[in-house]
Amino acid sequence: MDGRKHRAVASVLGLLACALPASSQAQTDGYILGQGVNAGPFNIAGYATIEAEAKKGEDAGLLIDDLSLFVKGSVNSMINPFLELEIAEADLWFEGDPPLKDPDPRLDIERLYNDFIFGEHATVRAGKMLAPVGEWNLIHAGPLVWTTTRPLTTYRNFPEFVTGVSFISENIGENQLRLEGYWQPAGDLDPPPADALYRFENTMGFQAELPLGLTDKIGLSIQHADLKRTQESQLLIGLNGRFTFDRLELETEMSWTSIANPLPGRVRDSEFGGYIQGAYEVFTNWFAVGRAEVFKDRNVQKTSRNFVFGVNYRPNPAIAWKLEYVEQSGADLGISSGVIASFNVLF
Amino acid sequence: MLAAAVLLLTPCADSAAARTVYVIANSSTPVSELSREDIEKIYLLRQQFWPDGKAVVPVNRDAASDLRAFFSDIVLKQSPRSLSTYWNQMHFRGKSPPVVQGSSQSVVAFVRNVPGAIGYVDDLSGLGDLKILAELP
């Protein structure tokens, strides 16, 4: 990567630093950053991620990666709607082009469901929801994860969303076990774009989460899905875990997917992805972050390997500034080597 | 901003000092006492309902409050930062974190006015008909 690109990233970060409220004073009168605004039984909140990137072989640029708004209602045990709308990948500027030349944002309905709550331990959720596979897919907001780059393991080879029904049982027993089973009987609400890598149907699955502490846990995910327009079906088995040791937080997800009736073009009838990530608080609010991931894709012989090294500055839990270097080798599955910086805020 | 940063880095002067926190609840709450573990479950959003089926509405103090630091440490046995991170995660997953009030007076007023509300104070004055469910530690 040339110096020009580094200067471009430095410049946009500088602009962001001047323009955005990085103050550690998250609370203003009557409003707490990260907790949204309450209006009667409704809470309106959201998050934003503004990203500056300088990737190898690509133009440096600045984009709104996510601008998400979510509205949650708690009217009574039967009326608990949740809506999340997201504007994604709006290009603000790319090297060699004037600002806002072609923003081309995508508007998605990420979640739209209602919870029917039957007492302390049983909830039925109906609508479009995040598929409970691993933890990253369920808690993927920029301010709540350590890196701007999302591991392949957390999205590439399974449907991230389910439009259907799920049964959730949580806070079971002394260990506060959480179980969720879900089923998508028909099509997607707000389907993925036509150029999505895979389109799924007949999705069903199960997840068990065992809390080990406040945020520490281990989880098991099992998911079956058919691929549209082919005779293929797949079964995913995933494990995830988060473990905190004083200032160090370790996190891992891995999944193995078996593919039945694979198309002739597939190079293997299974897929594997896994990563391990660590975040260490070096100084107050400053964290060093590292991650190693491997992914063996069904379509590519070579294994994809990517390593991320970075820092986070988190002046409060609702704000994260991130700077990271990504080194990618092997199969190119959408993660490029380069420098990425982002400003992330929950509001 | 520098002053705010210094404030954040400065440990709460009296958070470790001996003091008592009183857990209070709306007068309609169908319990008369709670253990520390019960209170922990409520504030960690692991108990959402009172025995009569009404929603539990936990109330927290603002992040700068010494009393919140004390309550987090002694009652919830977590750092305020870890708790904020946890509540942010739960919020994203669709669970409402505790409502924040900026003073003891506003905690008392909120708990008085909202059925199912539970909060904490370190001063018994002005509680009126509110229930005191626990005295900690």
- Chain A nearest-CA distance from B15, in A, is 19
By 3-state DSSP, what share of chain B in percent is helix, strand and coil, each rounded to 5? Answer: 35, 20, 45
DSSP B41: H
pLDDT at A16 over 50: no
Predicted confidence at residue A95, as pLDDT, reads 87
Q: For residue A201, with 0-12 CB atoms within 10 Å meaning exposed, 13-18 middle and 19 or more buried, which class applies?
A: middle
Substitution target from B81, B91, B113, B114 for chain A, most A beta carbons within 10 A: B91
> Encoding tokens for residue B96?
């409402």
Whether A215 and B96 lie within 8 Å, measured CB to CB: no
In 3-state terms, what secondary structure has residue A325?
A: strand
pLDDT of residue A27: 40
Tokens found for residue B8? 């954040």
Closest to A317 (Cβ–Cβ): which among B5, B84, B96?
Answer: B84
Band of residue A277 on the pLDDT scale cut at 50, 70, 90: very high
Q: Which residues of A touch B47 (CB under 8 A)?
A: 120, 171
Is the pLDDT at A20 greater than 50? The verdict is no
Q: For the whole model, what pTM was predicted?
A: 0.87
Asked if A284 lies within 8 A of B64 by C-beta distance, the reply is no
In Å, the largest CA–CA distance within chain B is 49
Q: How much is the pLDDT for A101?
A: 81
> Do B89 and A139 lie within an 8 Å CB cutoff?
yes
Distance from the B126 Cα atom to the nearest Cα atom in chain A, whole angstroms: 23
Given a cut of 70, the residues of chain B with pLDDT beneath it are 1-18
Phi-psi region of A292 (alpha: psi -120 to 50; beta: other; left: phi over 0): beta
Does A72 contact chain B (CB < 8 Å)?
yes
Report DSSP state, residue B73: I
Written as six digits, the tokens of A34 are 């990260």
pLDDT confidence tier of residue A18, bands split at 50, 70 and 90: very low
pLDDT in tens, A309-338: 999 999 988 999 999 999 999 999 999 999
Which two structure tokens, joined as six digits, stand for A323? 């700077």
* Average pLDDT estimate for A136-141: 97
Instruction: Tell me which of A171, A216, A240 to substitute to probe the interface with B (most B C-beta atoms closer than 10 Å).
Output: A171
Pairing label, strands A200-211, A177-183: antiparallel
Q: How far apart are CA A308 and CA A311, in angstroms?
A: 10
pLDDT of residue B18: 67
Give the pLDDT score at A252.
Answer: 98
CA A275/CA A153 separation, integer angstroms: 7
ipTM score of the complex?
0.87
In this prediction, residue A88 has a pLDDT band, given cuts at 50, 70 and 90, of: confident
The reported pLDDT for the residue numbered B39 is: 97
Residues 6+ apart with CB under 8 A from A106: A87, A88, A89, A193
Which residue is closest to B56 within chain A, CA to CA?
Answer: A120
Tokens of A4: 């020009």
- Choose the closest CB to A214 out of B64, B78, B91: B78
Helices (H), chain A: 3-19
Per DSSP, the residues of A187-222 read: --SSPPPTT-S--EEEEEEEEEEEE-SSS-EEEEEE
Please provide the distance, in angstroms rounded to a whole number, between the alpha carbons at the two ends of chain A.
34
Phi, psi angle pair for A213, to nearest 5°: 180, -160
Distance separating alpha carbons of residues A220 and A177, to the nearest angstrom: 12
Q: Report the distance separating Cα B102 and Cα A169, nearest Å.
A: 34
Domains assigned to chain A: 3-346 (2.40.160.10)
User: If you compute the radius of gyration of chain B from its CA atoms, what whole number of angstroms results?
Assistant: 15
Q: In the predicted model, is pLDDT for residue A26 greater than 50?
A: no
- pLDDT tens, A35-48? 889 888 999 999 99
- B86/A214 Cβ within 8 A: yes
DSSP state of A301: S
